[in-house]
Amino acid sequence: MASAYKEAVPVPEDFPVGLKVLVVDDDIPCLRIIEQMLRKCMYTVTTCSQATVALNILRERKGFFDLVLSDVHMPDMDGFKLLELVGLEMDLPVIMMSGDDRTSLVMRGIKHGACDYLIKPIRTEELKNIWQHVARKRCYVGKEHEHSGSLEYNDRLKHGIDESEYASSVNEGADVTSKTLKKRKDTKEEDDADIENDDPTTSKKPRVVWSVELHQQFVSAVNHLGIDKAVPKRILELMNVPGLTRENVASHLQKFRLYLKRLSGVAQQQGGLPSSFCGPLEPNPNVGSLGRFDIQALAASGQIPPQTLAALHAELLARPTGNLVLPAMDQPALLQASLPVSKCITLDQNVAYGQPLMKCPSNISKHFSQTVSSADNAHSGFGSWSSENLVNVVTCDNVTGMGAQNGNAMMSMMHRQQQQQRQQQEHLQKKSKLPEPSRSINVQPSCLVVPSHSSANFRAGNSLAPVNQNCNLSGSSIKDYNILSPQSNISPLATGRTPDIKIKSTGMLSGLSGTGSISATFSSGSVIADNGVGSQLQNSASRFVPDRQLTDIVPNISIMQDSYNATSGQMLDLETLKCTAFIGRETSIPSRFAVDETGLPIGNVNREKIRGENNGNKVKLEPNMNFVESAKAGVPMLRRLSPTDLMSVFLD
């Protein structure tokens, strides 16, 4: 705390004298007594018997008062409400007082950010000392300036992420290595310790450090409630973090909303955000190497210029713990997909496009209502997944690109290395996270990539595509998968081939809405990943006979391994999957995955529904891996999958 003092605002010699205190209490005798006491202590006192009046006074004379003393029980407004408002609007130290000494009430006061809680009867001795709250605040403000921006989203964003060690709270964890995180945490703890050591009992509301974990909790709470319905109190309850006050949450929520708003605004203006956002993430495939997966969701208001397509770079196995970075464009709000920490995909290429990055903390579910305007994107072919349900995206080795056209859903599975995949499957079945190095899957933007979803048993990616938990695929359906080669912004364009691949899956894809056969166009889009690896799509019509492999299928999981194997002879290197995909829990996230050669980490996607919209197409994945057709397709690409249906396509 010594450090705080040196920054203290110069204190007048007669400092406590004349301190301007506003006393609010509906209890007149008490008000009178406290007034008199404060006078005795040489404070300048203003009294008020109504909270609403007090609030008006405070608003009219902003900056006039140094301190507020408020009763808890007041008829016109709860003292805590006043406390919250004062804290939010003027950031004044507020001391609560009440004749009610029940612990729960005192705790409420603390949680709401009261810097002190006085039990009536209040004694002069207690009031003599209240100037310290003002002094502490002043010291504190000075101190906070030192750490400018540490709590400010905007500042942080402006600064970019150059100081990678301080990931912006929005991007927290996205690009931060666990190491630096830890480091940062430690320093924070020291700070906090300082404060606490100083004066634990009377310390002002401690500055809340919105750590990654805390922010994730916050976001998950917000998602749970819905961004529009989220109120500090409920969020606080959901978060259930000791020491966190409603005021803290309210303040954070405000900033969060601002941030979302700002993001969407930026997205509208320009498909791409200044590279400063993305800077740190840029081309490094290595970002994920630290074991962190970044998920970035971009909330775009509707339109994403094709140029802003972000490729997700997923690094799999080698980095078991990662965050998925999904650039998601979402109109109203950006939602973050929750990823289990251990399972993540990192996107690298996004940086190049300069899209705003959203980090999706794990276990966060968000609702994206995404509207991708098809017009702009028509040629680019976005695949966006909006999942209304929780989606824990665990990136498995398996990546499925799904595109639906004309009532035909296309699903593309990209995989390399068959054997590895099998191994992985086994691992997956075990739910073991075994990273298998060197798998690169690239999905073209027109494709939706679905990370494997453990609960749903849907695995996209190398080899596994469990569609339904029941593993029901309509048997004997011929599927033509067309991969659309989007004209992606990625420098190397994929040559769009539309080979027709027919896959017979008996018993699989059973639930497809209406059509047992799905024709999808594969466009062999060879995209060069950052790695500089040119991917070649071999357009070969391959037939998958799932039946053989059904035996291998773990109950509740339909695995397309066989088909995979069948095609295995045909090695397709789809190295880039660009997909606008939303993966989120209960959220629809339009996002694009670019998967580079990295193996996809095995992930569990707990998503109950995934909706993907490609160019206005919606694909809904239900936990059962069902696709619902909900799309209108002005664009040929629209397709709906009935929720009960699962479509998985392997691209080989």
SS (H, E, C) 422-455: HHHHHHHHHCCCCCCCCCCCEECCECEEEECECC
Residue 17 contacts other proteins per CB under 8 A: no
Which among 37-45, 442-450, 504-512, 519-527 is the span making contact with other proteins, rule CB under 8 A? 37-45
Residue 98 contacts other proteins per CB under 8 A: yes
Residue 33 contacts other proteins per CB under 8 A: yes
Residue 40 contacts other proteins per CB under 8 A: yes
Q: Which is nearer to other proteins, 31 or 494 (by Cβ)? A: 31
Residue 30 contacts other proteins per CB under 8 A: yes
Residue 632 contacts other proteins per CB under 8 A: no
3-state secondary structure of 612: strand
Q: How far is CA 509 from the centre of its chain?
A: 31
CB of 185 to other proteins, least distance (A): 41
Measured between alpha carbons, how far is 165 from 179 in angstroms, rounded to an integer? 9
Measured between alpha carbons, how far is 140 from 437 in angstroms, rounded to an integer? 49
Residue 120 contacts other proteins per CB under 8 A: yes
Q: Which is nearer to other proteins, 124 or 148 (by Cβ)? A: 124
Residue 46 contacts other proteins per CB under 8 A: no
Amino acid identity, position 252: H
CB of 27 to other proteins, least distance (A): 5
What residues contact residue 13 under an 8 Å CB cut-off, 6+ apart? none
Q: Which is nearer to other proteins, 61 or 73 (by Cβ)? A: 73
CB of 72 to other proteins, least distance (A): 8
Q: Please tell me the total number of residues recorded for the chain in this structure.
A: 652
Which among 71-79, 175-183, 479-487, 608-616 is the span making contact with other proteins, rule CB under 8 A? 71-79
DSSP states of 151-179:
S-HHHHHHHTT-STTS--TTTTTTS--HH
3-state secondary structure of 56: helix
Residue 52 contacts other proteins per CB under 8 A: no
Residue 76 contacts other proteins per CB under 8 A: no
Helix (H) or strand (E) segment spanning residue 405: strand 399-405
Q: Which is nearer to other proteins, 21 or 529 (by Cβ)? A: 21
What proportions of the chain, in percent to the nearest 5, are helix, strand and coil?
30, 15, 55
Which among 50-58, 122-130, 379-387, 446-454 is the span making contact with other proteins, rule CB under 8 A? 122-130
Which among 68-76, 168-176, 351-359, 497-505 is the span making contact with other proteins, rule CB under 8 A? 68-76
Tokens 């069948």 label which residue? 566
Give one word for 518, left, alpha or beta, with left for phi > 0 and alpha for psi -120 to 50: beta
Residue 59 contacts other proteins per CB under 8 A: no
CB 294 within 8 A of CB 285: no
CB of 14 to other proteins, least distance (A): 19
Residue 28 contacts other proteins per CB under 8 A: yes
CB of 76 to other proteins, least distance (A): 12
CB of 22 to other proteins, least distance (A): 18
Measured between alpha carbons, how far is 249 from 234 in angstroms, rounded to an integer? 10
Applying the rule CB under 8 A, the residues between 435 and 464 that interact with other proteins are none
Rule CB under 8 A: choose which of 10, 29, 63, 200 binds other proteins.
Answer: 29
* Angle 453-297-164 from CA coordinates, rounded to 5°: 110
Cis peptide upstream of residue 555 (ω within 30 degrees of 0): no
Measured between alpha carbons, how far is 304 from 300 in angstroms, rounded to an integer? 7
Amino acid identity, position 41: C
Taking each continuous run of H as one helix and of E as one strand, the counts in the chain are 18, 18
400-429 footprint of other proteins as x/- string (CB under 8 A): ------------------------------
255-274 footprint of other proteins as x/- string (CB under 8 A): --------------------
CB of 39 to other proteins, least distance (A): 8
Q: How many residues bind other proteins (CB under 8 A)?
A: 24
* Sheet order of strands, 399-405 included: 408-414, 399-405, 448-451
Applying the rule CB under 8 A, the residues between 378 and 397 that interact with other proteins are none
* Residue 458 token pair: 């849907």
CB of 47 to other proteins, least distance (A): 12
Residue 75 contacts other proteins per CB under 8 A: yes
Q: Which residues pair with 68 in a beta bridge?
A: 22, 94
Which among 116-124, 375-383, 543-551, 623-631 is the span making contact with other proteins, rule CB under 8 A? 116-124
Residue 18 contacts other proteins per CB under 8 A: no
Measured between alpha carbons, how far is 319 from 434 in angstroms, rounded to an integer? 9
Residue 73 contacts other proteins per CB under 8 A: yes
Amino acid identity, position 628: V
* Interaction site with other proteins (CB under 8 A): 25-30, 32-34, 36-37, 39-40, 71, 73, 75, 98-100, 120-124
